[in-house]
Amino acid sequence: MSTALDAPKARLHLEARERASLTVRIVVPIVSILIASIFTSIAMVIDGHSPIDAFVEIYHSAFGGKNPLVRTLLLSTPLIFTALAAAVAFRMKIWNIGGDGQLMMGAVAASGIAIFLSGAPFWILIPVILIAGSLGGLLWAGVAAVLKVFFKTDEVITTLMLTFIASHYMEYLIFGSFSYWRDPESSTYATGKAIPEVAELPRFWGRLHIGFLIAVGAGLLVWWALKSSRWGYETRVIGDSPTAGRYAGMSVSKNIIIVLCVSGALAGLAGAVEVVGINHALQPTALQTGVGFTGIIAASIARMHPLMLIPVAVFLSGLVSSGTSLQQMGIPIDIVLLLQGLVLLFVAAGEFFLHYRVRYAPRGEVA
Amino acid sequence: MNDTVLILSLATTIAAGTPMLLAALGEILAERSGVMNLGIEGMMLIAAASGFWITSETESLALGMLTGIVAGTLLAAIHAVLAVSLRVNQIISGLALVIIGTGLSGFLGDAATPKLTGRPPGARFTSLLPEALTDLPVVGPLVFDHDIIVYLSWIFVAATSYFLFRTRPGLAVWAVGDDPATADSAGIPVIAFRYGFTLLGGALAGLAGAYLSIHLIGTWQDSLTSGLGWIAFSLVIFSGWRPWRAMLAAYVFGGLTTLGFTFQILGFGVPTDFLAMLPFVLTIVVLAIISSRPEAARRFGAPAALGKSFARESR
């Protein structure tokens, strides 16, 4: 199992690890995040800022106190959903990268039904809206699922294309037409029609709404389902080897459809929760921030673990939430994106060292 | 609407489609070797920002374009190290590129002093050919009245097509992208090929980004590419990984924007949002048609080992 056999002169060679030890599994991600921070610091120093001040400010404005923490947790809520959406699919090696589109369609469905049912009481409205949101995301991912099962299309491409279609559709609903979703009062600057006040999610800690609790609950549910249910077992087997799954009598097509639908429903919930929790209307620009892609980052850093991705999502949201304070210090807000990208990069690269051990062998010596 | 307007808008379409075409050509080469790079948007952005910055500093068009090419290549190098050597999932690595490219370009745009706004006078491409040719009716504006980058893109189309379909190393690229283990047995350096074509893809995306910011738009703003990199990605699939089709498709996709204005002038009520959707809808339709038929999939489908990392020892 060593490349040294192929190239006897190699000084460095790779050895596959059977299983990474716990120390390695903890040290590698931490070192990865440190390296990402160092690179970001270099960018800040070049721009004439003190990285230490910046990191202290990031901590204070993201996690230091109730208000900053609430803001961070609010930002993390849709991210937890989209990260779960990515984790569910990616674990079965179904590459749903269209979380953003599913989120948008979830928001379209949720806001539509919220406006339609404006007379209904609170305890009917909220569940119906959340179900509608997840159905919106489910159907949008379902398009990719049906195309994959019946037309053998690559879901990487279809889910990505469906995201851009959803994005333009949403813009059409608000900016490009006088649709049901658009506020007829708004003429100079188009906005979405406000949902009824009773449909707004209740808040329990400052501005923090129960959407955050639903997201954490969804994480627990997904964790349990993947770990303990028959469905979770089947997705694991098929993810490892579709052929093995087929021989064991599992329907691969059925599982592809289910996994994509579950994934889409989770992303759709992100959209619904944003509508009833934050925007209280269909606001295209608020939903085009790339939370779906960031969800893939969060899930990857958490190595697709449905519970681990929650703290990762909170951490990444903290970075975003500190962006405006950094800007007040004169540090460009995009430094946050850069840091996020670098963390992903180095964590992904670090993954390699969980699977392989790099050995140094003196010339001529074959391990 | 008279013919002149039609011809002029077609000519504009060619310029507008050029960044997409260049980036798509680069992606075709990378994907043919088995490396999917979702980071086109990131590579174009970093090239657009850094190229524009250097051109404003030095007032040199050539230096700016060169910077863009280098920046795109460097970002692609990250992808190559991650995806080819470290065997990271190519989707995740590509997305990292998008985020880093967006972040770094935005950072650069904000940090640059003086601010990146106006293009230095004279820092744009002019028509390459003499007036005797550009003044000709119809073919003048359509064929002869273009700048050097447009002609370069045409040469690249012909060259990549010839390379991929008619030369031995070109066929080796197919082998590397379809069946790296067999290519490796045949003595083709799989890793070197994948590195080379990923970097080339980055260089072309960089050229596209710099051309866009310096020449076509003439300023820098955050997320200047506004999804062009993603359209280039879809172009690759739409074209069935073939350069000539990519060229045609780039102009069709590029023309959709122009078409929107034309429809408005003519009084047709086609919402621009639906025109903007069209490239993505068409890509899905074409992909479904090709993928569902094994014969078509073999000819126009993705390289068989696209997105899969190659490790000799786990063969």
Q: State whether B99 and A344 contact (CB < 8 Å).
A: yes
pLDDT tens, A90-127? 999 999 999 999 999 999 999 999 999 988 898 999 99
A357's tokens: 């051990």
A9's tokens: 């002169």
CB A286 within 8 A of CB A274: yes
Distances (CA, A) of A260 to A148, A158, A266: 10, 12, 10
Mean pLDDT along residues A122-134? 95
- Whether the full predicted model's pTM is greater than 0.80, yes or no, is yes
Query: Residue written as tokens 């979405």?
Result: A192
Scanning A317-346 for CB atoms below 8 A from B yields 332-342, 344-345
Q: State whether B99 and A337 contact (CB < 8 Å).
A: yes
pLDDT at residue A9 greater than cutoff 70: no
Q: Which residues of A touch B184 (CB under 8 A)?
A: none
A172's tokens: 């059409």
pLDDT tens, A214-242? 999 999 999 999 999 999 999 989 988 89
pLDDT tens, A14-24? 777 777 777 77
Question: Percent of chain B scored above 70 by pLDDT?
Answer: 94
**CB atoms near residue A171 (< 10 Å):** 21
Q: Measure A34 CA to nearest chain B CA, in Å.
A: 17
B294 to chain A: closest CA residue = A152
Residue ranges of domains in chain B: 3-121+140-306
Q: What is the DSSP letter of A203?
A: E
d(CA A209, CA A200): 9
Q: Which amino acid is residue A273, in one-letter code? A: V
Residue B272 touches partner A, C-beta closer than 8 Å:
yes
Q: Measure B213 CA to nearest chain A CA, in Å.
A: 19
Q: Which amino acid is residue A248, in one-letter code? A: A
* Cα B63–chain centre separation: 20
B3-121+140-306 adopts what CATH topology? ABC transporter involved in vitamin B12 uptake, BtuC (1.10.3470)
User: Which of A153, A156, A345 comes nearest B100 by C-beta?
Assistant: A345
**pLDDT given at position A364:** 53
A interface test, pick of B88, B283, B308, B314 with most A CB neighbours within 10 Å: B88
Q: What is the number of alpha carbons within 13 Å of residue B141 lying toward its C-beta?
A: 13
Instruction: Find, among B177, B291, B225, B290, the residue nearest to B48 by Cα.
Output: B225
Scanning B85-114 for CB atoms below 8 A from A yields 86-89, 91-93, 95-107, 109-111
**pLDDT given at position A4:** 43
Residues paired with A13 in a beta bridge: A359
Scanning A258-297 for CB atoms below 8 A from B yields 293, 296-297
pLDDT at residue A344 greater than cutoff 80: yes
Q: Helix B90-111 vs helix A22-46: angle between axes, to the nearest 10 degrees?
A: 20
pLDDT tens, B75-92? 999 999 999 999 999 999
Instruction: Find, among A290, A268, A312, A320, the residue nearest to A103 by Cα.
Output: A268
d(CA B200, CA B30): 7
ipTM for the predicted complex comes to: 0.91
pLDDT at residue A131 greater than cutoff 70: yes
CB A273 within 8 A of CB A211: yes
User: Which of A2, A147, A338 comes nearest B103 by C-beta?
Assistant: A338
Query: Residue written as tokens 């070197």?
Result: B192
> What residues contact residue B155 under an 8 Å CB cut-off, 6+ apart?
none
Instruction: Find, among B65, B43, B63, the residue nearest to B216 by Cα.
Output: B65
Q: State whether A3 and B313 contact (CB < 8 Å).
A: yes
d(CA A113, CA A182): 14
Instruction: Find, among A193, A248, A222, the residue nearest to A89 by Cα.
Output: A222
d(CA B69, CA B208): 8
Mean pLDDT along residues B192-198? 96
d(CA B240, CA B302): 7
B interface test, pick of A93, A143, A345, A354 with most B CB neighbours within 10 Å: A345
In chain A the first and final C-alpha atoms are separated, in Å, by 11
CB A170 within 8 A of CB A112: no
In this predicted structure, which of A7-11, B47-51, B215-219 has the lowest mean pLDDT?
A: A7-11
Q: Which amino acid is residue A30, in one-letter code? A: I
d(CA A209, CA A103): 18
**pLDDT given at position B1:** 43
**Residue A65, by phi and psi: left (phi above 0), alpha (psi -120 to 50) or beta?**
left
Pick the most confident of A71-85, A114-128, A289-303, B11-25. Answer: A71-85
Question: Percent of chain A scored above 70 by pLDDT?
Answer: 95
Query: Residue written as tokens 């900016």?
Result: A175
pLDDT tens, A39-88? 999 989 988 889 999 999 999 999 999 999 999 999 999 999 999 999 99
Give the pLDDT band of residue B39 (cuts 50, 70, 90): very high
d(CA A148, CA A87): 19
